[in-house]
Amino acid sequence: MKASIVGASQGVSMILLASKSPQRTQLLKQAGLRHITITTIDDDMENSSQPAQILAVERARAKARGADWQAQEHYFAQSHAAVVAADTIVHLAGRVFGSPQNADEAERMLADLSGTRHSILTAHCCWLPAINGEPEKEAVAVSVAQVTMLPMSMEDIQAYVASGESIGRAGGYAVQLQGDRFVADIQGDRDTVIGLHVASVQRIYREVTGHTPEESAS
Report, as residue numbers or ranges, the catalytic residues. Answer: 87
Q: How far apart are CA 76 and CA 70, in angstroms?
A: 10
Would the CA dihedral through 141, 57, 50, 186 be positive or negative?
positive
Q: How far apart are CA 165 and CA 66, in angstroms?
A: 26
Q: How far apart are CA 167 and CA 165, in angstroms?
A: 6
Query: Is 145:173 a contact under the CB 8 Å cutoff?
Result: no
Q: Which of 128, 177, 182, 122 is nearest to 152 (CA)?
A: 182
Query: Is 141:203 a contact under the CB 8 Å cutoff?
Result: yes
Kindly give the interhelix angle for 154-162 and 103-113, rounded to the nearest 10 degrees: 140
Query: Is 186:175 a contact under the CB 8 Å cutoff?
Result: yes
